[in-house]
Amino acid sequence: MKPGTRYVHESQEPDAFTGAVTVPITLTSTFKQDGVGKPRAGWEYGRTGNPSRKSLEGAIAAAENGTHGLCFASGSAATAAVFNLLQPGDEVVSTMDVYGGTWRMLRKVYEKYGIKARFLDSHSADSFKESLTARTRLMWVETPTNPMMNIVDIAAVAGLRSRQTLLVVDNTFASPYFQNPLDLGADIVVHSTTKYIGGHSDVIGGALVTNDAEIYEACRFYQNAAGGVPSPFDSFLVQRGLKTLAVRMERHQANAFEVASVLKGHAKVGRLFFPGFADHPGHAAAKRQMRGFPGMISFELNGGRPAVERFVQRLKLFTFAESLGGVESLACHPTTMTHGAIPQADRERIGITEGLMRLSVGIEDAEDLKEDIRQALQ
């Protein structure tokens, strides 16, 4: 089955009991058991397992060409489940422009349990290789990165894996439609389903997918023990989003190329970061590992912070807000929003300047979006 078909059919058979075509939202906290030690079909308690969640977990696993999926109440909860595989003294290697919340979790939450994190300025597999030590347990890769749209060569970094060092890829930006890290050698894929998979800016959720039964069992144990699970209703919303992922991503991509072409070379715009264009430094690597490009574009406004303030006031269709991946176009100012937790010196070193804007291009009509950007720049 091709991806667009899998998103609609995999792990969402019509209900065996009623024939309901849509997987029911099973709003229950507990399940009647048929006798001592006889839970019906394995269901016991809603934190441990719920049919709505289970259906979604299977569907997201299939979307990532994986065998095992687990869903969480947020992308951050999925991320925490992976870090809980670690022991005191273990090391994690990632890049400086990793998702701000992941940086914060490593630095402010897991460091106090003795887990050491390094954040590289470079995105080359060589720099990952040089940073590996006998204690490195995880390489945490995001590609394209947020907000600079750097590309990490997943297969090259996967070549550095060993029995003790796993590769995790946060695939939130590309979405499963454009990139499948497990196929490129990753051990675990993480998603904030809040973004493209949910796709409608109406739910917070997360997921992880792996082909490794041992990793799955360890993360599933943590999921039940720590309890950061999505509600049945949230599971339904994410699953409803997944069904239309293929059509939405095609439209996000087409619109992103249109909007990026307005920004490119515009007198009010400095550097443009869009990996879909051939002159982006990561374009060749992106073409090798991605089937297309999501609606994410960053660019510098000439005129810095004052220009940013005027620009966001003038936007009519692009909503000034954090997050990404929904049907509606959003504009965000990374310095004061998504990357506010990162120290200023680190931010500036990796290019997150006061004039930087990030767009999440939605699925509206491209002409309207282009006109909005044109008039706001003007």
Residues that bind ligand PLP (CB under 6 A): 74-76, 99, 101, 142, 146, 170, 172-173, 192, 194-195, 204, 206
Beta bridge pairs of residue 69? 209
Nearest distance from residue 71's CB to ligand PLP, in Å? 11
C-beta of 245 vs 307, nearer to ligand PLP:
245
Catalytic one of 90, 97, 153, 170: 170
H or E element, residue 141: strand 136-142
Nearest distance from residue 170's CB to ligand PLP, in Å? 5
Looking at beta carbons, which residue is closest to ligand PLP?
75
37: left (phi over 0), alpha (psi -120 to 50) or beta: left
Catalytic one of 47, 135, 264, 314: 47
Is 368 an active-site residue? no
Question: CA torsion 19→20→25→30, rounded to 10°?
Answer: -20
Nearest distance from residue 73's CB to ligand PLP, in Å? 8
Residue 37 CB coordination number (10 Å): 6
C-beta of 6 vs 195, nearer to ligand PLP:
195
Is 47 an active-site residue? yes
- 18 Cβ partners below 8 Å, 6+ apart? 24
- 114 Cβ partners below 8 Å, 6+ apart? 88, 89, 90
Nearest distance from residue 334's CB to ligand PLP, in Å? 12
Catalytic one of 195, 251, 347, 358: 195
The rounded distance, in Å, linking the Cα atoms of 24 and 175 is 25
Nearest distance from residue 76's CB to ligand PLP, in Å? 3
Alpha helices in 202-342 (DSSP H): 213-226, 232-243, 245-263, 283-289, 304-314
CA atoms within 13 A on the CB side of 267: 1
C-beta of 230 vs 292, nearer to ligand PLP:
230
C-beta of 15 vs 202, nearer to ligand PLP:
202
Nearest distance from residue 77's CB to ligand PLP, in Å? 7
Nearest distance from residue 303's CB to ligand PLP, in Å? 27
- 84 Cβ partners below 8 Å, 6+ apart? 218, 219, 222, 226
In contact, 82 and 190? CB cutoff 8 Å: yes
C-beta of 166 vs 189, nearer to ligand PLP:
189
C-beta of 51 vs 206, nearer to ligand PLP:
206
Is 170 an active-site residue? yes
In contact, 296 and 263? CB cutoff 8 Å: no
C-beta of 59 vs 204, nearer to ligand PLP:
204
Is 99 an active-site residue? yes
The rounded distance, in Å, linking the Cα atoms of 4 and 292 is 14
Catalytic one of 7, 97, 99, 234: 99
Q: How far is CA 303 from CA 18, 279, 342, in A?
A: 61, 24, 23
Query: Which are the catalytic amino acids?
Result: 47, 99, 170, 195
